Structure 1
């Protein structure tokens, strides 16, 4: 498990009310890290908060739709007086799955706003503070969808591909300052969000992960950036992509520095 002195005393979990987000809250509270939980639904949010408080930590909740224009300002209002050592961005479900040419552009824009713009805003704000302190961690939740195109998920898949490349770039920028960045890629996980999408978890041979197992795995590999694939899917992804990613990203960065005479 992670070091609470390195990643504490507070953690912010965006998308922290149910499923993997709730499991992250449970795991972190058990090791004494205080929590700021952000999610749209007040009911599940308070249920997760109560469970975490029972483990002896302080918990602040913010019932918030991250798509509202002043979302970052509201988050700052509940975090500016505490030291946040860990950001987990888990708020990235496919909010609008539709065939592209017959879909509504506003729906697609919402997917991009959540999975790209809001992820950038929170990473920029908390990452800068962590860099100044010389410690901390940022975990960005990715998806296997980000490795290939898929019908009715074109924008979601593309946004997840963006998130993966962004995480690798942020990882190499912040590593010299003691800040760990990890793109934690999920496969099929038994969460309420995936159930609402209509996923069939009972297909024979399907590798289905449980939220609590996924949360523990992600925290265990937080310092193993820039990429970790959950639930035994690492080898499946490895066959389609160059690995190990840390050496590849560092090698490419060094080549670019020489190209730019830095």
Structure 2
């Protein structure tokens, strides 16, 4: 492996929330290649089991799976029971839900609530579940997958952008808290990434000048950057962060809106 992932630092088990496809499946493959056993969490049992079997066959590690909706009551309890007999040295929180193409005031409030529940409350619950033992052992890592959307309010994804902004600030504070206990914390910020979820959303990823990352590349970058928290950005998106952190935010918000309209599927415009 080209990163610094070792069983001694981040093993012997890693938990990947959102570990069935796309970036999550790439995390699973690369962590298993480093010798870590895996616990894969995702809603859809089909892709979940396919990824688990591929990792077992390719790398010979042990893989446990749990088909679970992290927004449902009792989800954290199920995960705790599944992992109570193993030592988890790495949590990768890659689960996420988006609101592409839905304006807030006319949207489904329950659906927005699910986005908040998954991206914030479920993440907090799993960080606490696995982070506390890491603190006691004085080793481990908490890798939270963020989004470029969290740097700027955006039309039709306003809730998603807001929760991702929360997650970035949370990662910064968590990094400060855990660094003196030798636990690495990183939010790794993704831009547009060619995942099955993005394809299902119908987004146009072939716009001229649009930087599109591949899942295996961003997973590799994230694992290599795990010790360099609190926040790192996927290659090719640095300029986007610099622009979105500018001073004239009114102009930025309007500019981002015009750009986003070119990506949204026709049904949402």
**TM-score (norm: length of structure 1):** 0.90
Q: CA deviation at 1:70?
A: 0.2
Q: CA deviation at 1:104?
A: 2.1
Partner of 1:24: 27
- Regions of 4+ moved over 6 Å: none
Q: CA deviation at 1:95?
A: 5.2
| Kept in 1: contact 2:69–2:75 (CA 8 A) | yes
Mapped to 1, the partners of 2:150 and 2:201 lie a distance apart of 17
Note the alpha carbon deviations across 1:227-248, whole angstroms, 9 max, x for none.
0111321243134449xxxxxx
Partner of 1:67: 71
SS in 2 for 1:141: strand
Mapped to 2, the partners of 1:127 and 1:6 lie a distance apart of 14
Distance change (3 Å), C-alpha of 1:93 and 1:107? closer
Partner of 2:198: 194
Note the alpha carbon deviations across 1:120-177, whole angstroms, 9 max, x for none.
0001111101000000000111001101111111111000000000000000000000
Mapped to 2, the partners of 1:141 and 1:187 lie a distance apart of 11
Note the alpha carbon deviations across 1:193-212, whole angstroms, 9 max, x for none.
11111111211211000000
Return the match for 2:215 from 200, 211, 215.
211
Q: CA deviation at 1:106?
A: 1.0
| Kept in 1: contact 2:41–2:65 (CA 8 A) | yes
Distance change (3 Å), C-alpha of 1:100 and 1:34? same
SS in 1 for 2:180: helix
**Structure 2 residue runs without a partner (length 5+):** 247-269
Partner of 1:252: none
Distance change (3 Å), C-alpha of 1:44 and 1:95? farther
| Kept in 2: contact 1:149–1:158 (CA 8 A) | yes
Mapped to 1, the partners of 2:240 and 2:106 lie a distance apart of 32
> Once superposed, what is the RMSD of the aligned Cα atoms?
1.3
Mapped to 1, the partners of 2:31 and 2:171 lie a distance apart of 22
| Kept in 1: contact 2:99–2:159 (CA 8 A) | no
| Kept in 2: contact 1:93–1:193 (CA 8 A) | no
1:227 counterpart = 2:231: yes
1:44 counterpart = 2:47: yes
Aligned residues: 242
Distance change (3 Å), C-alpha of 1:72 and 1:97? farther
| Kept in 2: contact 1:25–1:35 (CA 8 A) | yes
Q: CA deviation at 1:103?
A: 1.3
Partner of 1:109: 113
Mapped to 2, the partners of 1:20 and 1:164 lie a distance apart of 19
Mapped to 2, the partners of 1:185 and 1:57 lie a distance apart of 28
1:6 counterpart = 2:9: yes
Return the match for 2:168 from 164, 168, 175.
164
Mapped to 2, the partners of 1:86 and 1:150 lie a distance apart of 32
Partner of 1:251: none
**Structure 1 residue runs without a partner (length 5+):** 243-262
Q: CA deviation at 1:93?
A: 2.6
